[in-house]
């Protein structure tokens, strides 16, 4: 059947169409264009017809576009045009947002809680600390909405039992106390707001001063006298000497619930574990970037040595930003996820030796040793931020407590981890028009 209609009618009809109306439209039959005038076309009429036809095809093309056909490409190629014809895209867009609700589920298989561990003991518990520090207890990755994080992150600052080489930016803060561990400890607590103090007994290393375990224990006693926060006791890292040094230190700090750093697979961890059990301390279980080694050591500490679950903290090793932090980060994240998902050999809070960040040349060198590099800028600002970003990334991987060195780093870390934890209030800032902000 052939249906005859005027072009203008068709155009009008199409103009009335909108998206809603399209559903029921079918174009049936042929559309015959009956162009007749006798004796040739008069130019005015031809132009008028041309105009109608062109408009009509635009409308048609638009319908094609709404239906998902790339009509603009067809038109462009048909007329050899580089660009699509000026069409009002407003024709194709809704006038209101299509309302949609955002929804996301919580993670279901984070069912296992990380062990809570308390370091330090007050008089009520047989110690002499004024405060204690509790870490762990998480049911989710740090700061996630899935579950409230029960304890904030904690910061312990390093004190050494002898003067050591330090980056210039660090040293400036400690020159007045570098020969006196007790004063050094006081300074980090009073001036730099440390939650804990780590006393490193590095002079005990036979290759350094070979200080006796007894003498080293005196330093521990001095520090316990000087400050009333919980303390961490570190050896020299010498696997032969450390057990003896840490045993003696554990003995003189009986009841204070210190963190003994550390038990590892390459020394006699049984002696460290026994000292912790005998004198009521916590053991730092230290492995080197290897999740299976961490499981093994934790298992040995628990099963073989009988260390209670609430007395183990893990140190899976911290590598500096740019120097293996990717391994350290992922190792910790895997450990934490495995713990949350039910691996009871890994459900312990973690500690990071964030001070390692100062080993990165970017933290301490005056300038880049490579002449192809852009200027590295002033190192007094580079160092602390290197320590911050190293620690911060591990805080996101699940690390609970940080052993750190530079006061600015500790301050900024407390600010950002406290913010993510939710304990820091700040004036609300309106960012709606940030583009125009004067910065």
Angle value at C-alpha 403, between 398 and 376, nearest 5 degrees: 90
Pick the closer one to other proteins by CB: 44 or 88: 88
Residue 23: DSSP 8-state:
T
Q: Which of 334, 341, 343, 344 binds other proteins (CB under 8 A)?
A: 334
Pick the closer one to other proteins by CB: 73 or 179: 73
Measured distance CA(403)–CA(355) in Å, rounded: 6
Measured from the CB of residue 288, what is the shortest distance to other proteins in angstroms? 5
427 part of the interface to other proteins, by CB under 8 A: yes
- Which residues have a Cβ under 8 Å from the Cβ of 395 and sit 6 or more positions away? 142, 153, 402, 413, 417, 420
Pick the closer one to other proteins by CB: 31 or 92: 92
Identify residues 138-157 at the interface with other proteins (CB under 8 A): 143-145
Window contacting other proteins (CB under 8 A); options: 37-45, 89-97, 193-201, 344-352: 89-97
Identify residues 103-132 at the interface with other proteins (CB under 8 A): 103-105
Window contacting other proteins (CB under 8 A); options: 154-162, 250-258, 270-278, 420-428: 420-428
Number of residues that bind other proteins (CB under 8 A): 86
Window contacting other proteins (CB under 8 A); options: 39-47, 153-161, 220-228, 329-337: 329-337
Q: Which of 89, 109, 124, 292 binds other proteins (CB under 8 A)?
A: 89
Identify residues 259-318 at the interface with other proteins (CB under 8 A): 264, 266, 288-289, 317
H or E element in which residue 386 lies: helix 379-397
Identify residues 1-60 at the interface with other proteins (CB under 8 A): none
Measured distance CA(226)–CA(205) in Å, rounded: 24
Measured distance CA(108)–CA(105) in Å, rounded: 8
Look at phi and psi of residue 35 and say left if phi exceeds 0, alpha if psi is from -120 to 50, else beta: beta
Measured from the CB of residue 417, what is the shortest distance to other proteins in angstroms? 10
Window contacting other proteins (CB under 8 A); options: 1-9, 27-35, 111-119, 324-332: 324-332
- Which residues have a Cβ under 8 Å from the Cβ of 368 and sit 6 or more positions away? 375, 376
Pick the closer one to other proteins by CB: 388 or 401: 388
* Residue 99 token pair: 């309302």
* Residue 281 token pair: 């301390």
Measured distance CA(354)–CA(236) in Å, rounded: 17
Measured distance CA(371)–CA(309) in Å, rounded: 52
Residue identified by tokens 């912790």 is 276
Pick the closer one to other proteins by CB: 253 or 390: 390
Measured from the CB of residue 412, what is the shortest distance to other proteins in angstroms? 6
Pick the closer one to other proteins by CB: 144 or 309: 144
Residues 176-215 as x/- pattern, contact with other proteins by CB under 8 A:
-------------------------------x--------
Q: Which of 388, 404, 405, 410 binds other proteins (CB under 8 A)?
A: 388
**315 neighbors 262 (Cβ within 8 angstroms):** yes
Window contacting other proteins (CB under 8 A); options: 176-184, 191-199, 275-283, 378-386: 378-386
Measured distance CA(355)–CA(318) in Å, rounded: 9
Q: Which of 169, 385, 401, 405 binds other proteins (CB under 8 A)?
A: 385
381 part of the interface to other proteins, by CB under 8 A: yes
Q: Which of 36, 77, 95, 292 binds other proteins (CB under 8 A)?
A: 95
Measured from the CB of residue 254, what is the shortest distance to other proteins in angstroms? 28
What are the backbone dihedrals phi and psi of residue 30, each rounded to the nearest 5 degrees, phi first?
-80, 150
- Which residues have a Cβ under 8 Å from the Cβ of 126 and sit 6 or more positions away? 255, 280
Measured distance CA(157)–CA(406) in Å, rounded: 8
Measured from the CB of residue 58, what is the shortest distance to other proteins in angstroms? 15
* Distances 428 to 148, 421, 435 between C-alpha atoms, Å: 22, 17, 17
């Amino acid at each position: 059947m052939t249906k005859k209609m005027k072009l203008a009618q068709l155009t009008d009809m199409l103009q009335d169409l909108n998206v809603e109306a399209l559903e029921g439209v079918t174009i049936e039959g042929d559309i015959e264009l009956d162009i007749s005038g006798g004796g040739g076309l008069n130019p005015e009429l031809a132009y008028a017809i041309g105009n109608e036809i062109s408009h009509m095809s635009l409308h048609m093309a638009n319908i094609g576009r709404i239906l998902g056909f790339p009509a603009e490409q067809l038109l462009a190629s048909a007329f050899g045009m580089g660009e699509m014809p000026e069409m009002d895209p407003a024709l194709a867009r809704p006038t209101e947002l299509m309302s949609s609700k955002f929804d996301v589920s919580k993670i279901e298989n984070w069912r296992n809680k990380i062990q809570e561990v308390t370091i330090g003991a007050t008089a009520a518990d047989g110690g002499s600390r004024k405060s204690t520090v509790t870490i762990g207890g998480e049911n989710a990755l740090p700061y996630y909405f899935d579950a409230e994080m029960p304890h904030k992150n904690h910061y312990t600052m390093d004190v050494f039992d002898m003067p050591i080489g330090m980056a210039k930016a660090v040293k400036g803060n400690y020159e007045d106390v570098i020969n006196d561990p007790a004063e050094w400890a006081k300074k980090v607590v009073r001036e730099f707001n440390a939650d804990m103090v780590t006393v490193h007994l590095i002079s005990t290393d036979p290759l350094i001063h070979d200080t006796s375990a007894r003498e080293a224990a005196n330093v521990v006693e001095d520090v316990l006298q000087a400050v009333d926060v919980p303390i961490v006791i570190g050896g020299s890292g010498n696997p032969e000497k450390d057990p003896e040094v840490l045993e003696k230190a554990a003995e003189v700090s009986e009841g204070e619930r210190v963190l003994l750093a550390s038990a590892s697979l390459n020394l006699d961890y049984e002696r460290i574990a026994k000292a912790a059990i005998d004198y009521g301390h916590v053991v730092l279980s230290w492995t080197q970037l290897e999740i299976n080694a961490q499981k093994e050591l934790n298992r040995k500490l628990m099963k073989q040595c009988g260390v209670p679950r609430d007395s183990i903290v893990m140190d899976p090793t911290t590598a500096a930003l740019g120097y293996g932090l990717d391994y350290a980060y992922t190792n910790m994240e895997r450990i934490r996820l495995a713990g949350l998902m039910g691996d009871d050999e890994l459900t312990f809070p973690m500690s990071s030796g964030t001070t390692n960040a100062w080993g990165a040349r970017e933290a301490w060198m005056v300038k880049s040793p490579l002449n192809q590099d852009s200027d590295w800028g002033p190192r007094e600002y580079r160092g602390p931020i290197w320590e911050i970003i190293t620690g911060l990334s591990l805080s996101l991987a699940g690390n609970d407590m940080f052993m750190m060195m530079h006061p600015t780093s500790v301050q900024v870390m407390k600010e950002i981890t406290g913010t993510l934890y939710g304990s820091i209030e700040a004036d609300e800032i309106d960012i709606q028009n940030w583009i125009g902000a004067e910065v």
